[in-house]
Amino acid sequence: MKVLVTVKEVAEADDDFAIEGTDIAESDLEYDLNEWDDYAVEAAVQLAEAGIADEVVTVTVGRERTEETIRMALAKGADRAVRVWDEALDGAFADVASKVDLFEAVVAEEEPDLVLGGVQAADTGFGATGVALAERIGFEHAAVVNDLDVDADAGVAHVHRELEGGVEELTEVDLPAVLTVQTGLNEPRYASLRGIRQAQRKEIAAKDLSDLGLTADDVESSLTITSMYEPESESDAEMIEGDAGESADRLAEVLREKGVSA
């Protein structure tokens, strides 16, 4: 069985950041593998270790810089990677359908039995790509999976979907399927030194639109970010000033007023 894992390098804003135009200034962003995707990679690698998956391939949409992040997934045990990028994607805010166009083309080449991805990307928080992809490629799907047991012989994934309020839905999903993975599904490993060394030799295949049989028109986004700003704080919080001792002193006073005591 072959597992394809969609991974994204996400940006996190520094404590102090400036907005330039419609994004946060590049110098105020830190990049990392998306937290949710880390759990998806781990799930795939565990399937390989259990002898259920023969190959784990990651696919990402991102410029060359993202290779550092992709290598982390390879160091954790993915076999190889596909990185899709094209000038036509530069500067635009890709909509769900255009990401699905790209992944659809990669799925056609790779023919996976299972596609795993994170529930959402931490930076944009759309939470939509996996389920839309499933619809496009005719796979079954389940979103927000926090328990996974693949029965390859029966061609079924037994999953829990984590609903709101401490309730989980138990579902059987026929393969091939796309599952979006929730944090807590497993314990993502740290890359070992050996893994990091091996990752240097693993293949990252770079593909542009024409490699995938697509054109710039195919991936034209229907969404445009027209402004970005720090939300007006509606808070009337009392911000307690002073050094740690002074602020603890004032907070203790507040807490006692509220009746807090051991």
Partner 1 sequence: MSVLVAAEHRRGALRDVSYEAITAGRELADARGADLHVAVIGGDVDGFAEDLNRDGVDAIHTVADGEEFDHNAYQAALSQLADGIDAGAVVLPNSVNGLDYAPALAEALGVPIVTDAVGMAYDDGLTVTREMYGSKVETTVDVAGDRFVLTVRGGEWPPAEGVGDAAIESVDVDVPESGARVTGFEEVGGGDVDIADADVLVSVGRGIEEEENIELIEDLADALGATLSASRPIVDNGWLPKNRQVGQSGKVVTPDVYIAVGISGAVQHVAGMKGSDTIVAINTDPNAPIFDIADYGIVGDLFDVVPELIDEFA
Ligand X SMILES: Cc1cc2nc3c(=O)[nH]c(=O)nc-3n(C[C@H](O)[C@H](O)[C@H](O)COP(=O)(O)OP(=O)(O)OC[C@H]3O[C@@H](n4cnc5c(N)ncnc54)[C@H](O)[C@@H]3O)c2cc1C
Residues 32-61 that bind ligand X (CB under 6 A): none
Burial track 140-174 (b if 16+ CB lie within 10 A, e otherwise): bbbbbbbebebebeeebbebbbbeeeeeeeeeebe
Burial group, residue 196, by CB count within 10 angstroms (0-12, 13-18, 19+): middle
Shortest distance in whole angstroms from residue 3 CB to ligand X: 22
Using alpha carbons, select from 52, 30, 201 the residue that is nearest to residue 123: 30
Number of amino acids touching ligand X (CB under 6 A)? 3
Residues 80-99 that bind partner 1 (CB under 8 A): 93, 95-97
Q: Given candidates 3, 5, 11, 52, which one binds partner 1 under the rule CB under 8 A?
A: 11
> Does 8 contact partner 1 by CB under 8 A?
no
Using alpha carbons, select from 128, 121, 181 the residue that is nearest to residue 150: 181
Contacts of 30 (CB under 8 A, 6+ apart): 11, 12, 14
Q: Given candidates 6, 34, 69, 120, which one binds ligand X under the rule CB under 6 A?
A: 120
d(CA 173, CA 178): 9
Distances (CA, A) of 179 to 70, 140, 145, 225: 20, 9, 7, 28
> Does 144 contact ligand X by CB under 6 A?
yes
> Does 143 contact ligand X by CB under 6 A?
no
> Does 18 contact partner 1 by CB under 8 A?
no
Shortest distance in whole angstroms from residue 130 CB to ligand X: 13
Shortest distance in whole angstroms from residue 200 CB to partner 1: 29
Query: 72 vs 181, which CB is nearer to ligand X?
Result: 181
Q: Given candidates 70, 119, 157, 209, which one binds ligand X under the rule CB under 6 A?
A: 119
> Does 213 contact partner 1 by CB under 8 A?
no
Query: 217 vs 243, which CB is nearer to ligand X?
Result: 243
Residues 132-151 that bind partner 1 (CB under 8 A): 132, 134-136, 140-144
Using alpha carbons, select from 197, 201, 199, 149 the residue that is nearest to residue 177: 149
Contacts of 134 (CB under 8 A, 6+ apart): 115, 140, 141, 177, 178
Q: Which residue has the closest beta carbon to ligand X?
A: 119
Query: 50 vs 255, which CB is nearer to ligand X?
Result: 255
Q: Given candidates 21, 51, 91, 245, which one binds partner 1 under the rule CB under 8 A?
A: 245
Shortest distance in whole angstroms from residue 120 CB to ligand X: 5
d(CA 114, CA 164): 26
> Does 166 contact partner 1 by CB under 8 A?
yes
As beta bridge partners, residue 147 has 160
> Does 247 contact partner 1 by CB under 8 A?
yes
d(CA 222, CA 126): 15
> Does 186 contact ligand X by CB under 6 A?
no
- Give residue 51's region: left, alpha or beta (phi > 0; psi -120 to 50): left
Per CB under 6 A, residues contacting ligand X are 119-120, 144
